[in-house]
C-alpha cells in the first residue's frame, strides 16, 4: 500500500512525524507493507520549488493508494500566480473529493463538553458558498461597487444526490439514522433542492430513517442532545461550522479526524488547521491526523475488499482510544503533558500490545 505523506505547515511536520512512527508500527504489526513516501507541500515546497504544491506531487498522489495531507497555512501564501496554491482546495478539486467525512465521538479519558456522542458529519465539499470552487471561471464572490459585495451559493441536484448517497451508505453501516441539515425555510429553492435530492438518493438505502433539521436548531441540538444523532449530511459551509462545533463537544480539534473522499480516491486530512501558536513546540496532538489516517486505510480497505487492511484500520482507531485513555498518551490540549512524539509513541505501543486480526 503506497501512501503519500504531505506534512504541510505550522504543526504539520511534527504531527506528520507522529503519523510516520504510528504507521511504521501498524505496517509491521499488521503486515500491511505500507510504502510511505514523504514530499513537501506548503511553505517548504514554495521555498524549494516556487509553488506550494507541484505538478510532480499531484502526479505522485494520483499514482498512490492514498494521501495524508497535513494542515496548510494558506493565509501566509502569496497569490496563486506567484505559486501560492491552496493544496487542500486543489486536491479536492482535482480529485473530485466531494465528501468530507468528519466523525465526532466521546472517548474514555478525553475531557469533553458532551457526556456521550458518536456521530459523523458528512459535508458536501465541492459546492455551497466556497467562492474559490463554485465557478467555471472567475470567483463566486465579487464586488460590483466598493460598497456592495455578493457571494453566490451553488447547489446542484447531482452534487446533492451523490453526497446523499455517501451519507446514507454510511448510515446503513451504523445506527441507520440520517439527519439532513438545511435552512430550507428561508433558502427555499437551493436548500429545498438539496433536501429533496438527498432524500431521493437516501431512499435507495433500505431501513435508514431520514429527518430534516434546520441549521439553527441543529446548532442548539448538538449541544443539548448530541447522542440523538448518527449521520448528519449538509451543504459545505453549514458542515464546516457544525463539524467544528461537534469536534469541540467531543474533546476538541486535537482528536478530530477527517477524510475527504471521492468515488475513486480519498485523502486523510485532520479537521484542524496549522495551529501557528503551537508550531515548533512539540506539543501538538497527533491524534487527529492519526485518526484521519485510520479512516483512509478503512476507506481503501472497503473499496478494495481488503479484510486485513480493515482490521488494521479498526486496530489503529482502538490504539488511539487506548493511548488517550492513559495519562501518558494525552497532550496538553487534553489536559495531559505528553509531547507530540510521546503521544505517537503511546499509540504505536498500544498497537504492539493489541491482538491482530480482529476487525
Q: Which is nearer to ligand ATP, 122 or 279 (CB)?
A: 279
Among 18, 140, 273, 298, binds ligand ATP (CB under 6 A): 273
* Shortest distance (Å) from residue 75 CB to ligand ATP: 7
User: What is the radius of gyration, based on Cα positions, of the chain?
Assistant: 20
Among 82, 277, 307, 352, binds ligand ATP (CB under 6 A): 277
274 binds ligand ATP (CB under 6 A): yes
CA distance 123 to 140: 19
- Give strand pairing partners of 118: 105
* Shortest distance (Å) from residue 108 CB to ligand ATP: 19
Neighbours of 188 (CB within 10 A): 11
Among 182, 184, 236, 285, binds ligand ATP (CB under 6 A): 285
272 binds ligand ATP (CB under 6 A): yes
Contact 225, 189 (CB under 8 A): no
Among 84, 103, 239, 254, binds ligand ATP (CB under 6 A): 254
- Cβ-proximal residue to ligand ATP, closest one: 273
Helical H runs in the chain? Answer: 12-30, 43-49, 55-63, 87-94, 157-172, 190-202, 215-224, 236-250, 287-304, 307-324, 340-353
Per the structure block, which three cell numbers stand in for 10? 505550522
Q: Which is nearer to ligand ATP, 278 or 348 (CB)?
A: 278
In SS3 terms, 85-118 reads as: CCHHHHHHHHCCCCEEEEEEECCCCCCCCCCCCE
Interactions with ligand ATP, residue window 110-129 (CB under 6 A): none
Measured in Å, how far apart are the chain's first and last C-alpha atoms?
19
- Give strand pairing partners of 267: 67, 260
- Give strand pairing partners of 37: 4
Q: What string marks each residue from 327 to 346 as x (binds ligand ATP by CB under 6 A) or -?
A: ------x-------------
Q: Which is nearer to ligand ATP, 210 or 242 (CB)?
A: 242
275 binds ligand ATP (CB under 6 A): yes
The stretch near ligand ATP (CB under 6 A) out of 114-122, 128-136, 174-182, 270-278 is: 270-278
The stretch near ligand ATP (CB under 6 A) out of 109-117, 217-225, 274-282, 318-326 is: 274-282
191 binds ligand ATP (CB under 6 A): no
Give the number of residues in contact with ligand ATP, rule: CB under 6 A.
13
The stretch near ligand ATP (CB under 6 A) out of 44-52, 76-84, 179-187, 268-276 is: 268-276
Among 68, 278, 295, 324, binds ligand ATP (CB under 6 A): 278
Interactions with ligand ATP, residue window 24-53 (CB under 6 A): none
Distant-in-sequence, close-in-space partners of 173: CB < 8 Å, separation ≥ 6: none
Residue 337 φ then ψ, to 5° = -130, 10
CA distance 137 to 154: 14
In the complex, which residues of this chain contact ligand ATP (CB under 6 A)? 11, 253-254, 272-275, 277-278, 284-285, 288, 333
Amino acid at each position: 500500500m503506497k501512501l503519500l505523506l504531505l506534512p504541510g505547515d505550522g504543526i504539520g511536520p511534527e504531527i506528520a512525524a507522529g503519523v510516520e512512527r504510528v504507521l511504521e508500527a501498524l505496517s509491521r504489526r499488521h503486515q500491511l507493507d505500507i510504502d510511505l513516501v514523504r514530499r513537501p507541500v506548503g511553505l517548504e515546497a514554495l521555498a524549494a520549488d516556487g509553488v506550494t504544491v507541484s505538478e510532480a506531487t499531484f502526479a505522485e498522489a494520483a499514482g498512490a493508494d492514498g494521501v495524508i495531507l497535513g494542515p496548510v497555512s494558506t493565509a501566509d501564501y502569496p497569490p496563486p500566480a506567484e505559486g501560492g496554491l491552496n493544496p487542500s482546495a486543489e486536491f479536492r478539486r482535482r480529485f473530485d473529493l466531494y465528501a468530507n467525512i468528519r466523525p465526532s465521538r466521546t472517548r474514555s479519558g478525553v475531557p469533553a463538553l458532551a457526556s456521550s456522542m458518536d456521530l459523523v458529519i458528512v459535508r458536501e465539499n465541492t459546492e455551497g458558498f466556497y467562492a474559490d470552487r463554485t465557478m467555471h471561471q472567475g470567483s463566486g464572490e465579487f464586488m460590483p461597487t466598493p460598497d456592495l459585495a455578493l457571494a453566490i451559493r451553488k447547489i446542484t441536484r447531482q452534487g446533492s444526490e451523490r453526497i446523499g448517497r455517501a451519507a446514507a451508505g454510511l448510515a446503513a453501516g451504523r445506527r441507520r439514522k440520517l439527519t439532513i441539515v438545511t435552512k430550507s425555510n428561508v433558502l427555499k429553492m437551493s436548500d429545498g433542492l438539496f433536501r429533496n435530492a438527498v432524500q431521493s438518493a437516501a431512499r435507495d438505502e433500505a431501513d435508514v430513517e431520514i429527518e430534516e433539521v434546520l441549521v439553527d436548531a441543529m446548532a442548539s441540538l448538538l449541544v443539548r442532545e448530541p447522542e440523538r444523532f448518527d449521520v448528519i449530511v449538509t451543504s459545505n459551509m453549514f458542515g464546516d461550522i457544525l463539524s467544528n462545533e461537534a469536534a469541540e463537544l467531543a474533546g476538541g480539534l486535537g482528536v478530530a479526524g477527517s477524510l475527504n473522499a471521492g468515488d475513486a480516491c480519498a485523502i486523510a486530512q485532520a479537521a484542524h488547521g496549522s495551529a501557528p501558536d503551537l508550531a515548533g513546540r512539540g506539543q501538538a496532538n497527533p491524534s487527529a491526523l492519526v485518526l484521519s489516517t485510520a479512516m483512509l486505510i478503512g476507506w481503501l480497505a472497503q473499496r478494495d475488499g481488503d479484510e486485513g487492511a480493515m482490521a488494521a484500520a479498526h486496530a489503529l482507531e482502538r490504539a488511539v482510544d487506548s493511548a488517550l485513555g492513559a495519562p501518558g498518551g494525552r497532550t496538553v490540549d487534553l489536559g495531559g503533558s505528553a509531547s507530540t512524539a510521546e503521544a505517537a509513541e503511546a499509540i504505536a505501543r498500544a498497537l504492539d500490545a493489541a491482538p491482530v486480526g480482529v476487525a
